């Protein structure tokens, strides 16, 4: 080991001296080849929707049992990397068991936000109390079916149906019950 190291160092020093000598003393033939244009770029994760800039799916007051509002939104993935997309709501939803939210996945091609024209449902992502809707990426609902990754130009339409549940408890609605203002977020993360 030590011997080899010594030999190596010696060769290196000789080479260095030879190089220095060459610069000073002679010209020489040389040839070189290169491999140019190497590049490395990251992929993209990009997701958008057709609501024209974070417009609400529902804003309605003065509702009674059975009243509902139905809206559709299309989410499009344009990133180059395959991603998982999760749907979740912001925190601060109120109203206890007063409101029911149903979110269906499906296909829509020509409908204009927030209309549900030509929406065809394919699966139900959520159907329950609004207050129990997930509020983080970790607990979020699958944008597609379970473990289905999104690839470039994938589009999924969602139909949101919020409604007021029946409640004949005497005196239970002498004051307004509000859901509070809340956001829905679709978040894409590359797989």
Partner 1 sequence: MSRRFALTVAAIGLVCVLAGAQTWAAYRDTTASAANSFATGTVVLADNDSGTAMLSLSNALPGATDAACITVSYTGSLASAVRLYGTTTGSGLDAYLDLKITRGSFSGAPPAFDSCATFNADATDYAGSGSGVIYNGTLAAFPDDYAAGRVDPLPAGPETWTTGETHVYKLEVTLQNNPAAEGKAATQTFTWEARNT
Question: Contact positions toward partner 1, by CB under 8 A?
Answer: 1, 5, 42-49, 51, 54-65, 69, 73, 75, 79, 81, 83, 95, 98-99, 130, 162, 164, 168, 170, 173-191
Task: Report the nearest approach of partner 1 to the CB of residue 144 (Å).
Answer: 15
For 89, residues 6+ apart whose C-beta sits below 8 A from its C-beta are 133, 134, 135, 182, 183, 184, 185
Of residues 21 and 189, the one with the C-beta less far from partner 1: 189
For residues 119 and 169, give the distance between their C-alpha atoms in angstroms, rounded to a whole number: 36
Task: Report the nearest approach of partner 1 to the CB of residue 142 (Å).
Answer: 16
Task: Report the nearest approach of partner 1 to the CB of residue 13 (Å).
Answer: 19
Of residues 121 and 137, the one with the C-beta less far from partner 1: 137
Task: Report the nearest approach of partner 1 to the CB of residue 60 (Å).
Answer: 5
DSSP state of 67: -
For residues 160 and 74, give the distance between their C-alpha atoms in angstroms, rounded to a whole number: 11
Task: Report the nearest approach of partner 1 to the CB of residue 157 (Å).
Answer: 13
For residues 114 and 54, give the distance between their C-alpha atoms in angstroms, rounded to a whole number: 12
In the block, tokens 């509002």 appear at 69
In the block, tokens 């609400």 appear at 56
Dihedral of the alpha carbons of 8, 13, 19, 24, in degrees to the nearest 10: -170
Of residues 20 and 56, the one with the C-beta less far from partner 1: 56
Of residues 79 and 106, the one with the C-beta less far from partner 1: 79
Of residues 22 and 56, the one with the C-beta less far from partner 1: 56
List the structure tokens of 131.
């207050």
């Amino acid at each position: 080991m030590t011997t080899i190291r010594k030999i190596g160092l010696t060769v290196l020093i000789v080479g260095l001296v030879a190089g220095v000598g060459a610069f000073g003393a002679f010209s020489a033939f040389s040839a070189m080849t290169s491999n140019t244009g190497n590049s490395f770029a990251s992929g993209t994760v990009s997701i958008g929707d057709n609501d024209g800039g974070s417009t609400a799916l529902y804003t309605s007051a003065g509702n009674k049992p059975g009243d509902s509002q139905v809206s559709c939104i299309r989410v499009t993935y344009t990133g180059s990397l395959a991603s998982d997309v999760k749907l979740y709501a912001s925190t601060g939803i109120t109203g206890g068991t007063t409101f029911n939210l149903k979110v269906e996945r499906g296909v829509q091609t020509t409908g204009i936000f927030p209309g549900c024209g030509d929406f065809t449902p394919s699966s139900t992502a959520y159907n329950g109390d609004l207050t129990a809707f997930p509020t983080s990426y970790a607990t979020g609902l699958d944008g597609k079916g379970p473990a289905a990754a999104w690839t470039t130009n994938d589009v999924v339409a969602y139909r949101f149906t919020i409604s007021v549940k029946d409640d004949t408890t005497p005196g239970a609605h002498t004051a307004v019950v509000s859901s509070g203002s809340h956001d829905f977020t679709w978040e894409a993360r590359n797989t």
